[in-house]
Amino acid sequence: MVEFVNCNEHGKNEGCMICQHLVAQKDLCYAKLLVDPHDDDFETAMCEACETLLLDEQEWSDKLNDFAEWKLFCRKCYERILQYHKLVAEGGM
Ligand SMILES: [Zn+2]
Ligand SMILES: [Zn+2]
């Protein structure tokens, strides 16, 4: 199941999550994952630091949530943010 968000700019749209680092910075390397933290599938983009932590934790832990401070965006806003970064890995978990 895909969660929808209501974007002020783009209307009702598929929800995607981005870690706070990708939102605040530019020119980072990131990985794209499909995850379901609450039984809803979110396409998720995370920077290398978040990905490293995820691999260390081996699960979607509170520690990761605290570190990443996931931001929910509509797909169009998500893609707009990601164009400033470099995709290095893609997969599911
Ligand atoms: Zn991050
Ligand atoms: Zn939007």
The ligand whose atoms approach the alpha carbon of 14 most closely is 2
CA distance 10 to 76: 7
Q: Ligand 2: distance of its center to the CA of 81 in Å?
A: 10
Question: What spacing in Å lies between the alpha carbon of 71 and ligand 1's midpoint?
Answer: 11
- What integer pLDDT is reported at residue 51 of this predicted model? 95
State pLDDT tens for residues 8-61.
999 999 999 999 999 999 999 999 987 765 666 788 999 999 999 999 999 889
What is the pLDDT at residue 46? 96
Is this model's pTM higher than 0.95 or not? no
Tell me what pLDDT residue 53 has. Answer: 97
Give the per-residue pLDDT at 34: 79
